[in-house]
Structure 1
């Protein structure tokens, strides 16, 4: 079976002429269904840019990005949109809609699922909010939530869409150790139970043991020191 995600000789730059800056250099990586891969490295080394390319939020410039066997380089806007419906993204900054409650924000994820009634989508939203410990905050707007609570709403929203590939950018950054551990265990459970591939950017040393594989990035390159967790 082909990997859920396959990158080959991926390169990306910002700017042009004298201002051109190469941020990704010959990135090759694969993620299998049900696998949790953690990507580590210093700030500014290109990790977030890599996630946005995989998530079809940027155009692929050079190299190959294949998601679910489909090539993203040269893909039309419609094709990228169709793939994004199968990809869950947890980004830094939460990106919650301020006018919607926690439950409504999460239901935006469940709304991507076809064939579910409104009640089923609502129930799924509440189920994931309970899973991240926010069952008592369903009706709260984002400005009434702490940073850690907003992060958990964003995580619940991504999981409510039942993604086949999950991309997470520092999902435990604003969470305490106990909550952070519970969240990554949820992500690992999603990977194993639903065959979802997970690629997670992190600086959190407390969760490294959750990974099936660790990959290090530095100066836009993946190091040769990537290794599997026994």
Structure 2
């Protein structure tokens, strides 16, 4: 009985020590002034140093990276925090959550991706579908993936939509072209809007010109003068002053 009791006491003493064992340390990857690939999966990874191109091919990881000249994401199910990407940022793989300061250009071919930029992005291509993008401003926006939302606090020089169930919001929109159905455009000010398709809607505070070729489309402009051209049926075009 005494030996049995001693074994129980030893087991009781060991179990708390195992429970208190420290978690695995985060992974640190150093760029060392060049390009680097983060291929770790199911890890917490921090990239350090002066970086050129960064590729993230691992999946199911939380990755923090500094400023870089380029970012290419091919892994899936990632949570990425980045600094300034001076060149191209390509977010593939899908199911990613990305936050960064800014990017020279942005391409999101991966589906179910959420990306947020505190600053501006250059040319933007959203092709993956089910994507959400927020940024301060953009040079141009091309949306070919469905079920996509893009919100800009400032200006977008040009915007093109070639699919359905897309929503674009901006303070000011330059030339905007919509081809598809069930799309929504919202802006304080706009230069030119062309809509082809059905069941689309647009709301502006001011808009210089609008052309609608399609059906069941709604356009509302609250202020200023707007040149209007409409071809199709069941369209509702309400402007402050029509020219």
**Shared fold (TM-score, shorter chain, > 0.5):** no
Larger radius of gyration: 2
TM-score normalised by length of structure 1: 0.24
User: Higher RCO, 1 or 2 (CA under 8 Å, sep at least 6)?
Assistant: 1
More helix per residue: 1 or 2?
1
